[in-house]
């Protein structure tokens, strides 16, 4: 027995140390994850309680349960239709961004274009200007000249223009990390580039497309300024704009309506995220890098 | 202990010269050809040209005028050359705002989002199942909810008299948003944007072979040493992309306005908020456009710094 | 990267020049489409059913539009009138209006804040009413019912651009119960700033009570200027804009700031509250809860905040507990125009869009909305100071406070200059009050303020000091 262990006296003492350290690391890891969970869940608490409270305050507390707030919100003529408007804008923009970005990213990934990275980053920088307040006059004038005032298409096109550079940037790296061997063999069998794109590349980068789609939807869903400036009248206004109308003349928030609407306004994106992530996966497959 | 981790690292470096997921793709595998590649690019480029480059160029032009939306300068805008730029650079409010913005980017993007995002991804790297899904779900939820909603959630959380945080900590009356406005918006933006970094690093960590981490761990390397010597060299490219994007997004993030409105007394007035106040509340669109362009240049500088620090990924360690 | 934007900028400059040239040669002498049988008109206001100022939106949709369409039908005209509801921040609403009018679009009848009229006129977005809709404007019956001062809200450089909706006035509210406990009279009327401070000192003895709430700082925004800085400024005999010059670090500005240092430096006010994003809401709630002794506010506070019926900080005993007094000048006779008491007023205006396709009918709609019948329908039983004297006589009789404002305060009141730089000067003023409230001396705060104002208005030549 003792003779068996004789050859390894030097490593034996370290084994328990490693095990203990491993255990400590595990404990530390779970503590950390619990803290993270708390940190990320805590602010959301209010959204879960206030809409059901008959007199909501800013404190998240066990509500005196009521559904009256939802009833009151249904009396608002624009609340529900605004959500539908948001769906139009978000779906349109996401479809455009995902399609165009995928095509462009694929081309950029497979064919060498000189100065490609510089171009992409230059566009990315410009997109940061265009989302700012200072661009509202050019954006408005542009939409006016193209006859896109009070048109959902105008909002979709402008938002797409702003989101495309980052979408291409992200998707290009997805495309880079997919193997090209399938494409080569498909090409041997006479498939056209669009067919290759549809039947081979898209399935491979599907999580990436889903991620970019969700990202685009979330961006449009929260955008106030562009739809506010370009659309006329509340019939076309998306939820982001209607959300701002739930204040009184003096600027006070109507907490009952605001909390309830916040919940309804958040649910579609949350549900979409759950759906997309369970159906297509929601991650950066292989990651994006330069 | 320190030296043990080096050998396996070098072995790998020799075996797979390219860090990251896969070798660079062979050029033009699908037989796209220049013409068709251009065809693939055109829809996106047209949209970008018309709805991004044109308004951006227009904004840059506005930056050399005294343009306003109302009043006499709206009827007769004049080109004022670089006046807006000299005025901005000489303005203490602008300089303070720039410093606050850099603090905001460093605190909430580089340290907050990237740091926390990596930590979460690393802690979850070999987990599957409900714990991972719940943690990721909450982190991602805070990323996709509309900013007007999350801003209100944070106002409710941090309220001086009735906020949930003070109620939990038992310190009613602590005015987080007044006494620590920058800290408040930095923590807020960390909460808001960590998801992107988490997802990116989660994917990046899949490129780090588990056997190498295991080897390093059994050899007694501390977590920090594993990170530095085994993980980081393999995800250097991802770190770069991540920092580039989140710094850019954070630098131009307007959401803090919805929480502190830049206050109290401009102590959380980051540049996007400053531009909003100048251009929309003050009506000075020309001046606001000039500041936007300065912001673009600063973003460019930040990007170049990152590229210099992390760009040459094939250099030996 | 640098070459491309520059070329694009050149093209854009050319485009802009063409656009400007095109805007220069518009306008016509005769109201177009005067005899049209089919008309479409649009009304725009910053109100929305179910949201901001819901009652006003409902009035337009359910009362104005049907009645107007009916009246047109009787004349054989088919009218289609739509309402463009908004309900957002005033600044954002203003931006959208300016963008619309800049591109020759926008609604036909537009509700604006009276203070925007001047800047819109200067930008070329508005034209005098009689130029847009012809002679019928001057013969409107309503003008005789609207006092000159109130008409001023819709005028710029002695020309009428719109019809005022109503006006308001600022007073000092006080809590009579707290006053009784502090040994102060129930019918309080201070005659100088010192008397306000003296009352504050007595109130300070009450535990848990903030003696005085005078809005300060930028978080309260325009509420600081209207309820704090400007009434004090006119009380010290100063005007923010006079004879083409803006007020710099003048003695009245310093006096005003000195009052802030006395209130907030002397422990008579809560400086923290001034910084909070929701500070004004909180001041309302605290006053309603009996925690604030004296509060400077407009009649809005009485109508919509502490209103026992539908206020946002209801006070069931408002009529017995809440007292109100005129805002005194620094000393008797020290106010503008040698007044003993002062106030500030503002109010909304409805204007005609000069680009309207049916300007004549748009005027009909506009004047109909300002008729006595329509104004009474808009009030729907509630009391508010409207632009029309005949309506006020009827509806204000029931409300002694609003009557007090109409009879005693409005004759003394002053208005803000309707110029494009005013919002910036106002912010500078707010920043100065913030500095004074947080301990800087009045001189220091005034000097910093003057420097900022010089930057906005084109140098020291346009500033008095």
Span of A96-105, A185-194, B89-98 with lowest mean pLDDT:
A185-194
pLDDT at site A288: 54
pLDDT at B271 over 50: yes
Question: 3-class DSSP state for residue C112?
Answer: strand
List CB contacts (< 8 A) between C424 and chain B: 282-284
Q: Which of residues 186-225 of C touch B (CB under 8 A)?
A: 217-219
pLDDT at C25 over 70: no
| Residue B38 pLDDT class (50, 70, 90 cuts) | confident
| Residue C444 C-alpha, separation from nearest chain A C-alpha, in angstroms | 32
pLDDT at site B312: 56
Q: Please, where are the H alpha helices in C227-342?
A: 230-235, 251-260, 271-275, 279-288, 299-300, 318-321
State how far the Cα of C170 lies from the Cα of C298, in Å rounded to an integer.
Answer: 4
The rounded mean pLDDT for chain C is 89
Task: Say yes or no: C102 contacts chain B, CB-CB below 8 A.
Answer: yes
State how far the Cα of B23 lies from the Cα of C449, in Å rounded to an integer.
Answer: 62
- C64-79 burial, b for 16+ CB within 10 Å, e for fewer? bbebbbeebeeeebeb
Q: How many CB pairs under 8 A join A and C?
A: 74
Task: Say yes or no: C123 contacts chain A, CB-CB below 8 A.
Answer: no
- Closest residue in C to B63 (Cα) is C9
- Spatial neighbors of A12 by CB under 8 A, at least 6 apart, are A5
Phi/psi at C109 (nearest 5 deg)? -115, 125
List CB contacts (< 8 A) between B68 and chain C: 123, 420
Residue B43 tokens read as 């829809």
Range C170-344+417-464 classified under CATH 3.20.20.70: no
Residue in A168, A176, A221 closest to B25 by CB: A176
A79 and A34 in one domain? no
pLDDT at B78 over 70: yes
Residue in C13, C217, C438 closest to B61 by CB: C13
To test the contact with chain A by mutation, choose from B21, B23, B45, B149 the residue with the greatest count of A C-beta atoms within 10 A, namely: B149
| Residue A65 C-alpha, separation from nearest chain C C-alpha, in angstroms | 22
Cis peptide before A45 (omega within 30 of 0): no
Q: Name which of C190, C175, C396 is nearest C284 in CA terms.
A: C175
Give the structural domain span for A23.
2-52
> What is the separation of C-alpha A216 from the centre of its chain, rounded to a whole number of angstroms?
6
Cα first-last separation, chain C: 47
pLDDT at site B24: 46
List CB contacts (< 8 A) between C305 and chain A: 250
| Residue B3 pLDDT class (50, 70, 90 cuts) | very low
More confident residue, A64 or C177: C177
pLDDT at A85 over 80: yes
pLDDT at site B82: 92
Q: Name which of C441, C374, C416 is nearest C115 in CA terms.
A: C416
pLDDT at site A252: 67
Task: Say yes or no: C92 contacts chain B, CB-CB below 8 A.
Answer: yes
pLDDT at C364 over 60: yes
A88 and A38 in one domain? no
pLDDT at site C174: 97
Averaged pLDDT for residues C309-319: 87
Touching C (3+ Cβ pairs <8 A), the chains are: A, B
pLDDT at site B262: 86
Task: Say yes or no: C305 contacts chain A, CB-CB below 8 A.
Answer: yes
pLDDT tens, position by position, B217-254: 788 888 788 888 888 888 888 888 899 889 999 999 99
Task: Say yes or no: B258 contacts chain A, CB-CB below 8 A.
Answer: no
**What is the total residue count of chain B?**
317
CA distances from B147 to A41, A264, A273, C134 (A): 16, 14, 16, 48
Q: C267 in the Ramachandran plot: left (φ > 0), alpha (ψ -120 to 50) or beta? A: left
| Residue B130 C-alpha, separation from nearest chain C C-alpha, in angstroms | 40
Residue in C84, C95, C312 closest to A248 by CB: C312
pLDDT at site A249: 59
State how far the Cα of C438 lies from the Cα of C435, in Å rounded to an integer.
Answer: 5
pLDDT at site A72: 81
Q: Are B64 and B292 in contact, with CB atoms under 8 Å apart?
A: no
Burial (CB < 10 A; 0-12, 13-18, 19+), residue C158, is: exposed
- To the nearest 10°, report the CA torsion of C222, C226, C228, C234: 140
- Closest residue in A to B291 (Cα) is A134
Task: Say yes or no: C462 contacts chain A, CB-CB below 8 A.
Answer: no
Averaged pLDDT for residues C407-416: 91
Domain harbouring A134, CATH code: 1.10.3720.10
| Residue B17 pLDDT class (50, 70, 90 cuts) | very low
pLDDT tens, position by position, C31-41: 667 788 899 99
Instruction: Report if residue A285 sits inside a domain.
Output: no
Q: Are A179 and B22 in contact, with CB atoms under 8 Å apart?
A: yes
Yes or no, beta carbons of C277 and B177 under 8 Å apart: yes
- Look-up of token digits 């659309």: A231
Yes or no, beta carbons of A246 and C53 under 8 Å apart: no
Q: What is the DSSP string of A160-180?
A: HHHHHHHHHHHHHHHHHTS-S
Eight-class DSSP state of C386: B
pLDDT at C347 over 80: yes
| Residue C442 C-alpha, separation from nearest chain B C-alpha, in angstroms | 17
pLDDT tens, position by position, A138-155: 999 899 999 999 999 999
pLDDT at site C356: 94
Q: Which of residues 31-70 of B touch C (CB under 8 A)?
A: 53-54, 56-58, 60-61, 68-70
Instruction: Report if residue A223 sits inside a domain.
Output: yes
Averaged pLDDT for residues C280-288: 90
Strand C78-85, strand C38-45: pairing:
parallel
Residue in B43, B150, B241 closest to A100 by CB: B43
A29 and A128 in one domain? no
Residue in A22, A43, A104 closest to B41 by CB: A104
A91 and A37 in one domain? no
Task: Say yes or no: C123 contacts chain B, CB-CB below 8 A.
Answer: yes
- Closest residue in B to C124 (Cα) is B75
More confident residue, C224 or A257: C224
pLDDT tens, position by position, C230-266: 999 999 999 999 988 999 999 999 999 999 999 999 8
Q: Are C305 and C333 in contact, with CB atoms under 8 Å apart?
A: no
pLDDT at C22 over 70: no
Instruction: Report if residue A63 sits inside a domain.
Output: no
Count: domains in chain A: 2
State how far the Cα of A110 lies from the Cα of A91, in Å rounded to an integer.
Answer: 28
At the topology level of CATH, where does C39-164+347-406 sit?
D-Maltodextrin-Binding Protein; domain 2 (3.40.190)
State how far the Cα of C425 lies from the Cα of B121, in Å rounded to an integer.
Answer: 50
pLDDT at site A4: 45
Domains C39-164+347-406 and C170-344+417-464 share a fold: yes
Yes or no, beta carbons of A249 and C99 under 8 Å apart: no
Q: What is the CA radius of gyration of chain A?
A: 26
Yes or no, beta carbons of A249 and C52 under 8 Å apart: yes
Q: Which domains does chain B have, with CATH numbers?
A: 100-281 (1.10.3720.10)
Instruction: Report if residue A206 sits inside a domain.
Output: yes
| Residue A110 C-alpha, separation from nearest chain B C-alpha, in angstroms | 5
User: Which sequence spans correspond to the domains of chain C?
Assistant: 39-164+347-406, 170-344+417-464
pLDDT at site B5: 32
pLDDT tens, position by position, B202-222: 888 887 888 888 888 788 888
A100 and A132 in one domain? yes
More confident residue, A90 or A63: A90
Instruction: Report if residue A263 sits inside a domain.
Output: yes
pLDDT at C385 over 70: yes
| Residue A49 C-alpha, separation from nearest chain B C-alpha, in angstroms | 12
A85 and A13 in one domain? no
- Spatial neighbors of A9 by CB under 8 A, at least 6 apart, are none
What ipTM does this complex have? 0.86
pLDDT tens, position by position, A17-30: 778 877 888 898 88
More confident residue, A253 or A87: A87
Question: 3-class DSSP state for residue A194?
Answer: helix
A129 and A35 in one domain? no
pLDDT at C67 over 50: yes
Yes or no, beta carbons of C103 and A244 under 8 Å apart: no
- Spatial neighbors of B268 by CB under 8 A, at least 6 apart, are B100, B181, B182, B184, B185, B256, B260, B262
- Look-up of token digits 């005789």: C144
| Residue A257 C-alpha, separation from nearest chain B C-alpha, in angstroms | 12
pLDDT at site B18: 34
pLDDT at site A79: 87
Yes or no, beta carbons of B265 and C8 under 8 Å apart: no
pLDDT at site C97: 94
Yes or no, beta carbons of B292 and A136 under 8 Å apart: no
pLDDT at site C278: 76
| Residue B244 C-alpha, separation from nearest chain A C-alpha, in angstroms | 9
Phi/psi at A271 (nearest 5 deg)? -65, -40
A142 and A25 in one domain? no
pTM of structure: 0.86
| Residue C433 pLDDT class (50, 70, 90 cuts) | very high
pLDDT at site B4: 32
Averaged pLDDT for residues A39-45: 93
Q: Which of residues 387-426 of C touch A (CB under 8 A)?
A: none
More confident residue, C175 or A113: C175
Q: Name which of C372, C363, C345, C356 is nearest C162 in CA terms.
A: C363
State how far the Cα of A212 lies from the Cα of A97, in Å rounded to an integer.
Answer: 8
List CB contacts (< 8 A) between C303 and chain A: none
Instruction: Report if residue A287 sits inside a domain.
Output: no
Yes or no, beta carbons of C122 and B71 under 8 Å apart: yes
Instruction: Report if residue A288 sits inside a domain.
Output: no
A80 and A48 in one domain? no
């Amino acid at each position: 027995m003792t003779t068996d262990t004789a050859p390894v006296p030097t490593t034996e003492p370290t084994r328990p140390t490693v095990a203990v350290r491993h255990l400590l690391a595990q404990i530390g890891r779970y503590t950390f994850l619990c803290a993270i969970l708390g940190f990320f869940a805590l602010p959301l608490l209010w959204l879960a309680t206030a809409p059901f409270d008959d007199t909501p305050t800013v404190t998240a507390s066990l509500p005196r349960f009521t559904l009256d707030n939802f009833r009151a919100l249904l009396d608002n003529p624009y609340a529900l239709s605004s959500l539908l408007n948001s769906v139009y804008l978000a779906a349109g923009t996401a479809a455009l961004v995902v399609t165009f970005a995928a095509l462009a990213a694929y081309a950029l990934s497979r064919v060498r274009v000189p100065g490609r990275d510089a171009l992409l980053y230059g566009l990315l920088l410009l997109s940061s200007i265009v989302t700012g307040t200072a661009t509202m006059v050019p954006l408005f004038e542009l939409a006016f000249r193209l006859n896109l005032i009070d048109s959902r298409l105008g909002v979709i096109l402008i938002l797409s223009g702003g989101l495309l550079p980052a979408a291409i940037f992200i998707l290009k790296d997805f495309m880079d990390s997919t193997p090209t061997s399938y494409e080569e063999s498909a090409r041997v069998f006479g498939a056209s580039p669009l067919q290759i794109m549809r039947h081979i590349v898209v399935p491979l980068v599907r999580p990436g497309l889903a991620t970019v789609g969700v990202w685009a939807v979330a961006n449009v869903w929260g955008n106030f300024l562009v739809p506010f400036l370009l659309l006329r009248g509340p019939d076309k206004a998306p939820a982001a704009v209607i959300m701002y109308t739930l204040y009184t003349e003096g600027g006070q928030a109507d907490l009952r309506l605001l909390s309830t609407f916040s919940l309804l306004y958040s649910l579609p994106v949350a549900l979409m995220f759950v759906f997309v992530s369970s159906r297509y996966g929601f991650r950066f497959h292989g990651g994006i890098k330069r | 202990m320190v030296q043990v981790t080096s050998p396996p690292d070098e072995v790998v470096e020799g075996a797979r010269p390219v860090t990251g997921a896969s070798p660079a793709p062979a050029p033009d595998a699908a037989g796209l050809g220049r013409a068709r590649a251009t065809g693939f690019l055109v829809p996106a480029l047209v949209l970008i040209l018309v709805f991004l480059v044109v308004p951006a160029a227009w904004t840059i032009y506005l930056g050399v005028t005294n343009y306003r939306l109302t009043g006499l300068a709206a009827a007769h805008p004049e080109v004022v050359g670089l006046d807006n730029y000299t005025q901005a650079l000489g303005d203490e409010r602008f300089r303070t705002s720039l410093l606050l913005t850099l603090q905001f980017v460093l605190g909430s993007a580089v340290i907050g989002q990237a740091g926390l995002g990596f930590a979460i991804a690393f802690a979850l790297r070999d987990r599957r199942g409900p714990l991972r899904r719940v943690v990721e779900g909450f982190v991602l939820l805070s990323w996709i909810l509309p900013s007007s909603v999350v801003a209100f959630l944070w106002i409710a959380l941090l309220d001086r008299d009735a906020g949930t945080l003070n109620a939990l900590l038992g310190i009613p009356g602590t005015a987080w948003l007044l006494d620590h406005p920058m800290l408040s918006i930095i923590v807020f933006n960390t909460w808001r944007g960590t998801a992107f970094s988490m997802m990116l690093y989660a994917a990046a960590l899949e490129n780090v072979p588990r056997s190498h981490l295991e080897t390093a761990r059994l050899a007694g390397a501390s977590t920090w040493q594993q990170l530095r010597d085994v993980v980081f060299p393999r995800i250097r490219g991802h770190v770069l992309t991540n920092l580039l994007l989140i710094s850019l997004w954070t630098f131009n993030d307007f959401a803090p306005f919805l929480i502190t409105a830049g206050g109290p007394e401009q102590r959380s007035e980051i540049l996007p908020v400053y531009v909003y106040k100048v251009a929309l509340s003050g009506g000075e669109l020309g001046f606001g456009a000039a500041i936007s362009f300065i912001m673009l240049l600063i973003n460019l500088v930040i990007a170049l710094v990152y590229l210099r620090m992390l760009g040459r990924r094939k250099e030996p360690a | 990267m640098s070459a491309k934007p520059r070329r694009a900028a050149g093209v854009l400059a050319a485009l802009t020049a063409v656009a400007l040239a095109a805007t220069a040669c518009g306008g016509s002498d005769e109201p177009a489409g005067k005899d049209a049988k089919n008309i479409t008109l649009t009304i725009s206001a910053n109100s929305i059913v179910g949201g901001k100022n819901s009652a006003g939106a409902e009035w337009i949709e359910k009362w104005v539009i049907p009645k107007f369409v009916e009246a047109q039908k009787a004349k054989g005209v088919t009218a289609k009138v739509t309402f463009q509801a908004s309900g957002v921040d005033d600044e954002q609403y203003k931006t959208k209006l300016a963008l619309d009018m800049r591109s020759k679009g926008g609604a036909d009848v537009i509700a604006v804040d009276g203070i925007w009229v001047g800047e819109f006129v200067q930008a070329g977005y508005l034209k005098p009413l009689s130029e847009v809709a012809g002679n019928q404007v001057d013969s409107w019956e309503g003008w005789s019912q609207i006092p000159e001062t109130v008409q001023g809200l819709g005028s710029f450089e002695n020309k009428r651009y719109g019809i005022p909706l109503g006006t308001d006035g600022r007073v000092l509210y006080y809590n009579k119960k707290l006053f009784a406990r502090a040994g102060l009279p129930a019918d309080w009327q201070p005659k100088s700033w010192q008397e306000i401070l003296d009352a504050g000192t007595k109130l300070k003895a009450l535990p848990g009570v903030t003696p005085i709430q005078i809005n300060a700082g930028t978080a309260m925004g325009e509420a600081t200027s209207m309820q704090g800085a400007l009434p004090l400024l006119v009380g010290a005999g100063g005007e923010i804009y006079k004879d083409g010059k803006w007020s710099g670090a003048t003695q009245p500005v310093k006096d005003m700031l000195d009052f802030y240092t006395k209130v907030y430096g002397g422990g008579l006010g809560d400086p923290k509250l001034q910084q909070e994003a929701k500070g004004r809401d909180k001041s309302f709630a605290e006053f309603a809860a009996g925690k604030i002794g004296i509060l400077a506010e407009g009649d809005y506070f009485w109508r919509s905040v502490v209103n026992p019926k539908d206020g946002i900080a209801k006070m069931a005993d408002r009529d017995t507990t809440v007292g109100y007094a005129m805002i005194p000048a620094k000393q008797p006779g020290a106010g503008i125009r040698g007044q003993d008491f002062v106030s500030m007023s503002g109010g909304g205006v409805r204007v005609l869009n000069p680009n309207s396709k049916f300007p004549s009918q748009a005027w009909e709609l506009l004047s109909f909305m300002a008729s006595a019948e329509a104004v009474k329908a808009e009030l729907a039983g509630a009391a508010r100071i409207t632009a029309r004297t005949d309506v006020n006589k009827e509806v204000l009789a029931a409300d002694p406070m609003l009557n007090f404002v109409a009879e005693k305060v409005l004759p003394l009141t002053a208005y803000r200059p309707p110029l494009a730089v005013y919002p910036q000067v106002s912010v500078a003023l707010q920043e100065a009050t913030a500095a004074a409230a947080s301990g800087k001396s009045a001189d220091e705060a005034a000097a910093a303020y003057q420097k900022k104002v010089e930057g906005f208005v084109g140098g020291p030549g346009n500033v008095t000091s």
